[in-house]
Amino acid sequence: MLNRTRARAEVLARDLGATVVEADALAEAVLVVNALSVPPEIDVSWLRDDAVLMDMTYRPLITPFLTQGRSRGLTTVDGLAMLIGQARPSFRAIFGIEPPPIDVRAPALAALGETP
């Protein structure tokens, strides 16, 4: 786990049962998730060739972080995919029923003013 400050990383790691690492550990990461509100300053050129990049941001949908990853040929997952992935269990938890099995990506993209 990395954070902007080591102290914050330690608190979060303790809560999640994770380990705090130094930035150079990213070279071996198979999954890198950006949860910052600003683009991370990560040079993706030294990530593994099979690394997956996820960005929780969905405005803009394709962030500089994901653009870097795509230019390297890495698998990338945008924030909208993450939001949609959280929506089904949230719906179930709130309403106590399964949500309708529909694809909501296109309407979500339209709501954001993006094209599919």
Radius of gyration of the chain (CA): 16
Residue 74 to residue 31: CA distance in whole angstroms: 11
**Domains parsed from the chain with CATH numbers:** 6-112 (3.40.50.720)
Residue 100 to residue 14: CA distance in whole angstroms: 37
Angle at 107 between CA 105 and CA 112, to 5 degrees: 90
Residue by residue, pLDDT tens for the chain (116 residues) are: 988 899 999 999 999 999 999 989 999 999 999 998 888 888 899 999 999 999 999 999 999 999 999 999 999 999 999 999 999 999 999 999 999 999 999 999 999 999 87
**pTM listed for this prediction:** 0.85
CB contact set of 50 (below 8 Å; sequence gap of 6+): 30, 75
- SS3 of residue 54 by DSSP: strand
Residue 111 to residue 66: CA distance in whole angstroms: 21
pLDDT computed for residue 38 by the predictor:
84
